[in-house]
């Protein structure tokens, strides 16, 4: 951020919501103004607000990851908050690099977040809204992308072996997500597993098993880069692919 001179105009502080009564205020690249106190407190975090402007492999992956285990919420007197929380520090570091986020992550809380109405609006185009757990509805573009589904599985799914049998599973509370995921699986494998419903958690689980899981792992992870995958699930998928199971 930089200190800029503004004369004869008052601005609302984007953090506390109070009027800035001085001719000086702080601004960031998105022209969101902050009073001196909030600027000093928050240190005006800089990040790339255009990260989701272009549909590319990397942005689709993070759209999927946020769809699975991220959060978009309103905050009083501030722009909407977009966050991801994970015990896997590597994924938090990758998300920070994707956003060109200057701030150090809060490692004690395993959380990375930003405030941006602009990015929240971009995410809405792909079906990600506030309180999305039961209402998430991926857009057509997202639901056709293996990078989107890899992001969802990395955040809200499992990749591994069960009694020596490979499997990939996805859990969601949204019927629309499950329906579009089954459509993607059928398009790639020519078969769709039957989803199971957990009445306690109000969620559905879809599991692809056996040789289909090996093929699906290749579809999801072979086109990934180190910046667009969760390391431990990628290694599980790679072991699955290299095993030659079902050949």
| Cβ-based neighbour number of residue 73 at 10 Å | 12
Q: What is the mean pLDDT of residues 172-180?
A: 93
Q: Which two tokens stand for residue 53?
A: 């402007």
pLDDT digits (tens, 9 = 90+) for 63-118: 999 999 899 999 887 889 999 988 898 999 999 999 998 765 555 578 888 889 99
Nearest residue to 38 (alpha-carbon basis) of 56, 57, 16, 60: 16
Residue 111 CA to residue 168 CA, distance in Å, equals 26
Determine what percent of the chain is predicted with pLDDT higher than 90: 53
> Higher confidence at residue 28 or residue 234?
234
DSSP state of 142: H
Residue 91 CA to residue 210 CA, distance in Å, equals 28
Rg (CA), the chain: 21
Q: Tell me which of 69-78, 138-147, 191-200, 224-233 is least confident.
A: 191-200
| Cβ-based neighbour number of residue 125 at 10 Å | 13
Long-range contacts of 11-18 (CB under 8 A, 24+ apart): 13/38, 13/77, 14/78, 14/79, 14/115, 15/41, 15/42, 15/77, 15/78, 16/77, 17/76, 17/77, 17/78
Q: How many CA atoms lie within 13 A of 210 on its CB side?
A: 5
Residue 73 CA to residue 81 CA, distance in Å, equals 5
Residue 75 CA to residue 7 CA, distance in Å, equals 29
Cβ atoms of residues 5 and 24 within 8 Å: yes
| Cβ-based neighbour number of residue 184 at 10 Å | 20
Residue 106: predicted pLDDT = 57
Residue 2: predicted pLDDT = 45
pLDDT digits (tens, 9 = 90+) for 120-165: 999 999 999 998 887 899 999 999 999 999 999 999 999 998 888 9
Q: What is the mean pLDDT of residues 203-215?
A: 93
Banded pLDDT at 7 (limits 50, 70, 90): very low
Banded pLDDT at 198 (limits 50, 70, 90): confident
pLDDT digits (tens, 9 = 90+) for 23-42: 444 444 445 666 666 655 55
Long-range contacts of 27-35 (CB under 8 A, 24+ apart): 27/1, 27/2, 28/1, 30/116, 30/118, 32/79, 34/1
| Mean per-residue pLDDT over the chain, rounded | 84
> Higher confidence at residue 7 or residue 182?
182
Beta bridge partners of 166: 161
Residue 23: predicted pLDDT = 44
Residue 5: predicted pLDDT = 43
């Amino acid at each position: 951020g930089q200190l800029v001179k503004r004369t004869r105009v008052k601005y609302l502080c984007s953090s506390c919501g109070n009027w800035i009564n001085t001719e000086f205020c702080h601004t960031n690249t998105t022209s969101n103004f902050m009073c001196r106190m909030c600027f000093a407190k928050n240190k005006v975090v800089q990040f790339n607000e255009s990260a989701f402007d272009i549909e590319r492999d990397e942005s689709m992956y993070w759209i999927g990851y946020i769809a699975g285990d991220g959060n978009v919420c309103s905050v009083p007197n501030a722009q909407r908050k977009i966050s991801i929380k994970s015990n896997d520090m590597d994924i938090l570091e990758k998300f920070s690099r994707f956003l060109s986020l200057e701030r150090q992550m809060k490692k004690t809380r395993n959380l990375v977040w930003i405030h941006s109405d602009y990015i929240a609006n971009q995410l809405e185009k792909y079906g990600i809204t506030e309180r999305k757990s039961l209402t998430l509805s991926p857009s057509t573009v997202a639901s056709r992308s293996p990078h989107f589904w890899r992001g969802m599985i990395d955040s809200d799914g499992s990749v591994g072996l069960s009694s020596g049998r490979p499997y990939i599973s996805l859990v969601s509370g949204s019927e629309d997500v499950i329906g579009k995921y089954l459509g993607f699986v059928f398009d790639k494998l020519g078969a769709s597993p039957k989803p199971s419903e957990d009445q306690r958690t109000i969620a559905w689980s879809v599991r692809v098993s056996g040789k289909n899981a090996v093929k699906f792992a290749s579809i999801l992870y072979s086109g990934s880069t180190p910046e667009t995958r969760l390391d431990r699930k990628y290694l599980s998928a790679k072991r699955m692919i290299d095993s030659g199971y079902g050949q």
